[in-house]
Structures are given as C-alpha cells and as structure tokens.
C-alpha cells in the first residue's frame, strides 16, 4: 500500500491537520474526499504516503485534530477502510 487517506468531516478540520503536517515536513495533498470513503456526502481528506500515516495520526491525536477515518488505496479504485 503506497497511498493513504485521512478523512475529515469539515475543511477546517482538514486544514488543522494540514498545518500540522506542514510543520513536520510531511508531504501530502488536501483534497475532496473520494466518494467511496464517505457515506454521508462531501468532506475533505489528506492524501499521504502510507509510511507517514502512523506518525500523522499520532500527531493529530496529540493535537486534537478532529479527523474522521483512515483509508488505504489498494489500486484499481479499491480502497480499504483502516478504521479510526
């Protein structure tokens, strides 16, 4: 798995996460949440390399960044729900 997604209900939450990733120099893209990762409609996500996921989530928890769920991109449009 090369690419992971951290989803957020709100763009403000995603931006809080983005600023934190910037502080640590973690490469990422802030984007709209792909449809397979959201049952309730629009949201935003941070796309990053899977090697950075654990560190990013740890920092989000430490800094109370309100992320929603984690997903992995298995390729060919298949995504895996990695939970919270």
Partner 1 sequence: MIYLDNSATTYPKPPSVSQAVSYAMTHYGSPGRGGHRLAMAGAEAVYDCRCQVAELFACKPNQVVFTANATHGLNIAISSLVGLGDKVVVSGFEHNAVMRPLYGLKAQVTVVGLNLFDWDVTIESFRAAITSDIKAVICTHISNVYGYVLPIQEIGEMCRSHGVPFIVDCAQSAGVLPVSMENWGANFVAMAGHKGLYGPQGTGILLCQDGWKPLLRGGTGSLSKEMDMPVFLPDGLEPGTPNVPGICGLGAGISHLKTIGFDTPYMREEKLIQYAIARLKEREDITLYEGDHQAGVLSMTFAHRDCEDVAEILSREGIATRAGFHCAPLAHESGGTYGTGTLRISPGIYNTMGDIDRFVQALSLAETL
Q: Least distance (Å) from partner 1 to the CB of residue 70?
A: 18
User: Rule CB under 8 A: which residues touch partner 1?
Assistant: 9-13, 15-16, 19, 30-32, 39-44, 64, 66
CB closer to partner 1 out of 19 and 61: 19
CA distances 31 to 18, 59, 62, Å, are 11, 20, 23
CB closer to partner 1 out of 41 and 83: 41
Radius of gyration of the chain (CA): 12
Q: Least distance (Å) from partner 1 to the CB of residue 52?
A: 21
């Amino acid at each position: 798995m090369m690419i992971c997604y951290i989803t957020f209900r709100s763009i403000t939450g995603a931006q809080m996460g983005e600023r934190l990733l910037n502080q640590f120099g973690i490469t990422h893209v802030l984007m709209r949440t792909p449809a397979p990762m959201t049952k309730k409609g629009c949201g935003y996500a941070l796309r990053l390399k899977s090697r950075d996921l654990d560190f990013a989530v740890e920092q989000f928890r430490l800094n109370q960044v309100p992320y929603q769920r984690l997903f992995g991109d298995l390729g060919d449009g298949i995504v895996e729900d990695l939970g919270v």
